[in-house]
Chain A
């Protein structure tokens, strides 16, 4: 089976080796044959996809210039709104919800010529690290189908990894792009907070949520990011910071980059296979001319606790909108408050309810200062760790996940253990910096390991360059 990239699609279309319509049909055929096993897609949008493919084919026939993502088949995580295609967020409460508008990221992809194949499975409202919290069943990891793909953007990662899309969009609140990217063995990136508009992203934790890409190579991730990034008047937190041409930036030299290795990230709890690959990855970065620097990030051990206060507090507030009045599920009851309670009790799954209870608790009178305010203060300390580190180094290098893909069902009964696996990703989420996970070898030749790179806010080019150089030097097969 061909592994398509944005460049190979571009040249195949230009050489008329394949039409956009034929390529789209090939991807739907792949989905038809592989998706029943993987459960990566929840909904397909063939009408929309073929309409767009025909537009691209018409441009080709007319000899017109093609937009940068012309004919590239992409998948969209099901927490991102797509006009006319059901958007469930992996939840029963939105089982029949069809957005009347597109998210800005989707609009921009389509304007750049991409073909929207459909919507990918995810943990309910993006809450989870294994994709087992979807109301529509777990996703299987294409590299080892008895294992989880990671989460919450498990479907988006699995779709690209299995060749059921050339690229995809996920969302990252505490690691939900980078961790499944690592576990499925593909590059995956979240830009800085404010880099990509959140308009049309169904909110989980608004101060943390980010939309970002998965691809088969770092260059594709760069191409998707430069397409979706930039100011959008519909999201007041999307910034006016100029968007560089990341696909040009990636080719710049990395020699002399100072890479910070936070010793606080290499403590107990890390799988020995992961440690081995990450150390080899650091050796490879040295060979590329990078200078390693030992750094301290002393508040790392408080990041999980901080994250689960802030994320659940914001979630409890954001999810108040699911009340059975305007859209989604309604369970009939004679009184309004009874209808709210029954609807929400029946519509939300276990992890979402647990987080609503925890989030409501940490915000409630008498506990606000002890939990929520304390969490916001420690968040400031964690962000300061990053600022201090970036005074000494250009990039911070860590593992993406302390463990490789685990068996389906292995951690579902113990939420705290599941949360602890987010240790390396949540720090960057709380601080707002951009992060990328790039493949860094496979344990026993099968289970992929991810190397995570952080840069200061809005210095995405730097980690894209380094990830690209790492990939070109054979990082994936260490």
Chain B
């Protein structure tokens, strides 16, 4: 077994994801099977291979093409607040974070 019930509980906690008991067990079994399959990558010796995080050539990659950081007007603030679950422009209200 590649992944335990406790692993799934821990990962769901890291991802702030509430899962039911049924989901926990279903995902554990399915992800276990997927990780088992992924294990075939260990057949490959990659000790001398550089990891590839993105595919663009160095002259086209994001680092090379960043624009100047200039302040531009943004006309959509009202539209953004309009559809927030609990807006109080210019803030988004959230449940209490700090306990006394």
Where the two chains meet, the residues of A that have a C-beta atom closer than 8 Å to any C-beta of B are 96-98, 100-101, 193-194, 207, 233, 236-237, 239-241, 299, 301-302, 304-306, 308-309, 316, 320, 323-330, 332-342, 344-346, 348, 350, 353-354, 356-358, 360-361, 364, 371, 373-381, 383, 415-416, 419, 430-432, 457
Contact = CB atoms under 8 A, between A and B. Distances in A.
A302 B37 CA distance: 10
B95 to A, nearest CB: 5
Interface residues of B, number: 54
Contacts of B18: 341-342, 344-346
A325 B94 contact: yes
Given A237-B54, A326-B80, A332-B95, 9 more contacts: A233-B67, A305-B40, A325-B85, A337-B16, A357-B11, A361-B11, A374-B41, A380-B49, A430-B55
A357 B15 contact: yes
19 contacts: A101-B76, A194-B55, A194-B60, A305-B37, A309-B38, A327-B84, A328-B85, A330-B86, A340-B16, A341-B18, A344-B17, A345-B17, A345-B20, A357-B17, A360-B14, A377-B50, A377-B51, A378-B41, A379-B52
A354 B30 contact: yes
Contacts of A432: 55-56
Interface of B: 3, 7-8, 10-12, 14-20, 23, 27, 30-31, 33-35, 37-38, 40-44, 46, 49-56, 60-62, 65-67, 76, 79-80, 83-86, 92, 94-97
Given A237-B56, A356-B15, A361 B31 contact: yes
Contacts of B14: 360, 364
B65 A236 contact: yes
B85 A330 contact: yes
A237 B14 CA distance: 29
Contacts of B17: 341, 344-345, 348, 353, 356-357
B60 to A, nearest CB: 4
A426 to B, nearest CB: 13
Q: Chain B binding site: helix, strand, loop or mixed by DSSP?
A: loop
Contact of A302 (B40, B56, B66, B83): B40
A381 B92 contact: no
A431 B79 contact: no
Nearest to B85: A330
Contacts of B95: 332-336, 338-339
A428 to B, nearest CB: 11
A146 B42 CA distance: 40
Contact of B51 (A97, A100, A373): A373
Given A100-B79, A302-B44, A336-B95, A357 B8 contact: yes
Contacts of B65: 236-237, 239-240
Nearest to A365: B14
B79 A207 contact: no
Contact of B41 (A240, A340, A348, A375): A375
A326 B15 contact: no
The 8 closest A-B pairs by CB, nearest first: A432-B55, A345-B18, A376-B51, A330-B85, A100-B76, A100-B79, A377-B46, A380-B52
B51 A326 contact: no
A377 B97 CA distance: 40
B41 A305 contact: yes
Contacts of B76: 100-101
B20 to A, nearest CB: 8
A432 B35 CA distance: 25
Contacts of B38: 305, 308-309, 371
A345 B65 CA distance: 38
Contacts of A320: 15-16
A316 B15 contact: yes
B44 to A, nearest CB: 6
A431 B50 CA distance: 14
Contacts of B66: 236
Contacts of B55: 193-194, 207, 383, 430-432, 457
B94 to A, nearest CB: 5
B12 A357 contact: yes
Nearest to A361: B11
A250 to B, nearest CB: 25
